[in-house]
Structure 1
Amino acid sequence: MAHARRFFSLISSSSRPQTFASLPAQSTFRAARYLSTSEEAPEPRFLDMVQINFNKAAKYTSMHESMLKQILACSSVLRVSFPIRRDNGEIDVIRGYRAQHSHHRTPCKGGIRYAHNVDLQEVEALASLMTFKCAVVNVPFGGAKGGISIDPKKYSVIELEKITRRYAVELKKYGFLGPGVDVPAPDVGTGAREMSWICDTFSVLYGMEDVNAYACVTGKPITLGGVDGRTEATGLGVCYATKYFLSLTDECKRVGVTPELDGKTVIVQGFGNVGYHAAYFFEKFGAKVIGVVEYNGAVYNPKGLDIEALKAHMSTTGSLLGFSGATKEYPKEKAFELMEEECDLLVPAALEKAINRSNADKIKAKIVVEGANGPTTPYAEELLNKKGIIVLPDMLMNAGGVSVSYFEWLKNLSHVGFGRITRRWEEKGKQGFLQELKKAGVLIDDSGLSHETKSGASEKDLVYSGLEDTMCKGMQETVETARKLGVSYRIAAFVNALNKMEGTYRDAGFTI
């Protein structure tokens, strides 16, 4: 409960009636220094960022302190060390982590990242964010997160497989892996390959008599029970939520932005899985992606970049630089300056704290669309708000990944792909309807009809539909709360998450 006490102690006073305990002066100072206007003030750790925003939102609930402490506490944490023999015969000691933030809904859900700077604090912060993210978009999971402290680029495929499989064993050994317990997914530095290794390890060693064993992890290849549409889900979800927000004419008028996505200019920071797919679908939905930023360079074209061609160029050369479709390039040391160019939408889609006190006052975008986790620090967001820049928060905007992971989990439990039972029936029904119209004398040119008009829904069609509905509903609820309370969209999303979690505890009660 130490983290819960520190978490809770950052709550500031409010004019509204409160049931909170008095603030220790030292804890108040901790929050204040992160929001200080001094250039020398430190940037908060990621866990502190989540805590600061959580506590701002807590003022707008009627929850008792004891309930808040229960919601804030991280339920279970695992830290393991294990050896692997490298290809050259040397022994490496690998450090791995997993945090289960909340068991108010089970199983727990959250990605596994491979990065050299992974530590327990980051994993706990990401796990708590996953809890609130799932609640915001009505996905019935508790939050979790895991990671291994390595640079995956420095290990061979064989070595990475050894690390992943041993990590899976450690997770299962201590109760942090299983279809009804804890279901990991890809994150930074991992993908379908690593999820395949985890799935195979679990099913072979522990799932011999468990028909649902393949539901122990999501983000798998289709051949191992993955779902069509999972790879692009996070980036596509970013676009669905943004498109819906910009369709709310009255809300856009209220916050001072021009409605509709069509024709909007976009700059994307990060061109990995999330950034690429966000850029791809923004372009497909009628926006114009004028800039892309990566750690080793950036490219710009005010008339728009060809996203597929840019991706092919980067896959071939390892860099955005040298792309023939760009009119301007930014070298590695100046790459992040492209984020400061004028645009309608700025999409930070890489790692944490991309927008901070050093560059927030230089941002000229009208809307910041958070594709990454924690890309904007609290003080930076205050600066953006003062400039009239809207921030659409990470816990809503990048929830597409966990939403489609939920669909994959359901597919694994039901043991049948979406659309397999209904697709032909839908198709026959549509074609029968068209035939009846023709019999009635309606002139119809079948060759001009779209696929959606005359065919049944495929798995990808249904996944896309479910994802769009999930993101739009989450955005609608967030906007309604923001208007009602007069708060930012981030605080509104947190308030919604807290109230939903309280409802779960209230209805279920507490286990003795």
Structure 2
Amino acid sequence: MENKDAEGTKFLDTVMYYYDKAARHTGLSKGIIEQIRHCNSVYKTIFPVEIDGEIHAIEGIRVQHSHHKMPTKGGIRYSIQVSEDEVKALATLMTFKCAVVNVPFGGAKGGIKISPRSSSPKTLEKVTRRFATELIKKNLIGPAVDVPAPDYGTGSREMGWIVDTYMTFKYGDTDAQGCVTGKPVGLGGIRGRTEATGLGVYFGIREFLCNEEDVQKLGLTTGIAGKQIIVQGLGNVGYYSAKFCQENGAKIIGIAEREGGIYNENGLDIEAVFSYRTEKGSLLDFAGAKNIENSASMLEMECDILLPAALENQIHEGNADRIKAKIIAEGANGPTTREAEEILLSKGVIIIPDIYLNAGGVTVSYFEWLKNLSNVRFGRMGKRAEEAGYKRLVNAIESSTGNKITPEERIQLTRGADELDIVRSGLEDTMIEAFREMREALRQKPELSDLRTAAFYIAIKKIGLSYEMMGIFP
């Protein structure tokens, strides 16, 4: 446990280092810089839960980093190794992440010290509902206050339990479903949320690879097609990131997980690997792939893009000098330590930072929150009107040209946008515009030197403006 606490402290120190590195370029007053730096509130609670006939004391924590925008937003993770500093670091990253992609939330994060793997669904439900009750009692959750979401060890099931508990206490509140995001669709969730973070990772990588000037410096060609990728972590983020990259022509040559890794220089079928691991409980011995006993060593293998999508501090001063990837795409939160980043940048490695690259989840969570407040599904009011307009256009083209299109073509040409189409379009636009904003900041201020510093710089400037507009500081 002490080791995990130390890891959490190191993670927080790393985030603060990145913050300080960017903040000195902003021109903001010392007071505003200091205000943005600190977490606004930390709530820790110990609550009793009956498990198998015995009472257990469970520890929960919720950190709200910044109230410059309300509500605050961030996931709840379940892990026996949750630490206060780790949650603080994640909440801080959420503030900057939201600002980078122009999502109007402050950052928050939460955690419960419990093992989701060794706990029964009944136990997890009891713990989840009781933690939700503790937050409700202190007015620390709500669609205008603080909106949790899934994180490591949690998913739509847990969010469903939370929203049900909240709606029980807040009977008659028409906005109550907006108290959490990442819910099942039937409980007010949104289509496209499950794959949102991974799809956002793909969009971010694709956008970087569109810039010929940048990729030529790395000895690469533009476009994602043909790029060799090694993925660490085959959870939600790793799987969907790899899936969308592969569907658009990338080659997934290696996958690392806790039990080991697999490698094939000709590429691995990500769908087949995921199905195999789901069935067998392990990646190892996948047909046509070479087993790698020490999965950590896969971070050091030759590839174009290394995609760490597991936990924080995976790339550190002990292995950074041996990493051969040209691009590190941070699917996870905080996978690269400050010492490692200095080494990698000195080698000319490009790091696409977490506070931009994995912001797809919070972006689509924002869309879900908007859906809950409006109480209407995206596309419901406009889809058929769009289709009617497209049909009139197609009919007019057929009439004027004398050419008939096939029934299959007519379906494709006249289809209106549904919720999933709208969500993915909004996510794509968000990731494109945010990347261009970072790149423009680098162009205007070369002293920022790298994408992470540019991202933090942009975020701090936006948050600082919010505080200035509040009139809190002279």
8 Å CA contact 1:371–1:394 kept in 2: the answer is yes
The answer to whether 1:62 aligns with 2:27 is: yes
Tell me which residue corresponds to 1:18: none
Q: Aligned equivalents of 1:58 and 1:452: distance in 2?
A: 49
Q: Secondary structure of 2:230's match? A: strand
Q: Do structure 1's residue 211 and structure 2's residue 174 form an aligned pair?
A: yes
Match of 2:286?
323
Of 475-484 and 187-196, the range deviating more from structure 2: 475-484
CA drift of 1:258 comes to: 2.8
Matched residue, 2:207: 244
* Greater than 4 Å deviation, 4+ residue runs: 254-257
- C-alpha contact (below 8 Å) 2:73/2:106 kept by paired residues: yes
Alignment of 1:221-240 (within 5 A): 221-240=184-203
C-alpha displacement of 1:482? 1.8
- Which residue in 2 is equivalent to 1:278? 241
Per the alignment, in what secondary structure is the counterpart of residue 286 of structure 1? coil
Report the aligned-residue RMSD. Answer: 1.7
Provide the C-alpha distance between the structure 2 equivalents of 1:388 and 1:451, rounded to a whole number of angstroms: 48
**1:53-101 alpha-carbon deviations (Å, 9 max, x no partner):** 00000121101101101111211110000111112x1221100000000
| Match of residue 176 from structure 1 | 140
1:269-325 CA deviation, whole Å, 9 max, x = no partner? Answer: 000000000011111111111111101111111111111111110110111112114
Aligned partners of 1:196 and 1:224 also within 8 Å = yes
Tell me the distance in 2 between the aligned counterparts of 1:273 and 1:411: 23
Q: How does 1:52-451 map to 2 (within 5 A)?
A: 52-87=17-52, 89-205=53-169, 207-253=170-216, 257-326=220-289, 328-331=290-293, 334-441=294-401, 443-447=403-407, 449=409
Tell me how far 1:155 sits from its aligned partner: 1.1
- Distance change (3 Å), C-alpha of 1:293 and 1:475: same
Paired position in structure 2 for 1:461: 421
Distance 1:287 1:236 in 2: 14
CA drift at 1:248: 1.8
SS at match of 2:134: helix
In the alignment, the residues of structure 1 paired with residue 303 and residue 418 of structure 2 have an alpha-carbon distance, to the nearest angstrom, of: 36
Q: CA deviation at 1:507?
A: 2.3
1:490-505 pair list within 5 angstroms: 490-505=452-467
Question: Residues 161, 511 of structure 1: CA spacing in aligned structure 2 closer, same or farther, 3 A cutoff?
Answer: farther
For residues 136 and 201 of structure 2, what CA distance do their matches in structure 1 show? Answer: 33
State how far apart, in whole Å, the 1-side matches of 2:13 and 2:358 are. 20
Q: Distance in 2 between matches of 1:78 and 1:442?
A: 70
Residue pair 1:269, 1:349 contacting (<8 A) in 2 also: yes
- CA distance in 2 between counterparts of 1:256 and 1:490 reads 21
Moved more, 159-168 or 477-486: 477-486
Is the 2:237–2:331 contact (alpha carbons within 8 Å) kept by the matching residues of 1?
yes
Paired residue for 2:3?
none
Contact in 2 for aligned 1:482/1:488 (Cα 8 Å): yes
Give the conservation status (yes or no) of the 8 Å contact 1:342–1:364. Answer: yes
Please report how far the alpha carbon of residue 188 of structure 1 lies from its aligned counterpart in structure 2 after TM superposition: 0.1
Distance 2:223 2:372 in 1: 37
Q: Contact 1:44/1:377 (CA < 8 Å) preserved in 2?
A: no
* Cα distance in structure 1, aligned partners of 2:402 and 2:99: 48
1:495 is aligned with what amino acid?
Y
Match for 1:262: what amino acid?
A
Where 1:154 maps in the other structure, the secondary structure is coil
**Contact between 2:163 and 2:179, CA under 8 Å: does it hold in 1?**
yes
Q: Distance in 2 between matches of 1:283 and 1:256?
A: 21
Contact 1:77 1:99 in 2 (8 A): yes
Q: How far, CA to CA, are the matches of 1:451 and 1:244 in structure 2?
A: 30
SS at match of 1:153: coil
Corresponding residue of 1:9: none
User: Secondary structure of 1:395's partner?
Assistant: helix
SS in 1 for 2:58: strand
Equivalent residues of 2:9, 2:85 under 8 A apart: no
8 Å CA contact 1:115, 1:189 repeated in 2: yes
Match of residue 15, structure 2, among 35, 50, 63 = 50
- Asked if the contact 2:71/2:146 (under 8 Å) is kept, the reply is yes
Alpha-carbon spacing, 1:451–1:127, altered in 2? closer, same or farther (3 Å): farther
> CA shift at 1:175, angstroms?
2.1
Structure 1 CA distance, aligned partners of 2:261 and 2:310?
14
My pick for the range that moved more, 209-218 or 251-260, is 251-260
Q: CA deviation at 1:427?
A: 1.2
Partner SS for 2:117 = helix
Tell me the distance in 1 between the aligned counterparts of 2:173 and 2:233.
Answer: 39
Residues 451-502 of structure 1, C-alpha deviation per residue, up to 9 Å, x if partnerless? 6532001100000000000111111111111222221100000000011111
Q: Tell me, yes or no, if the aligned pair for 1:235 and 1:275 is still in contact at 8 Å.
A: yes
Could you tell me how far 1:445 is from its partner in structure 2? 2.8
Q: TM-score, normalised by structure 2?
A: 0.95
Deviations 1:152-207 (A, max 9, x none): 112111010000000001111112100100000000000000000000000012x2
User: Residue 282 of structure 1 aligns to a residue in which SS?
Assistant: helix
Q: Which moved more, 1:478-487 or 1:391-400?
A: 478-487
Quote the offset at 1:444 in angstroms: 4.7
Higher relative CO (Cα under 8 Å, sequence separation at least 6) belongs to: 2
* Secondary structure class of the residue paired with 2:376: coil
TM-score by length of 1: 0.89
Find the residue that maps to 2:92 and give its secondary structure: helix
Equivalent AA in structure 2 for residue 378 of structure 1: R
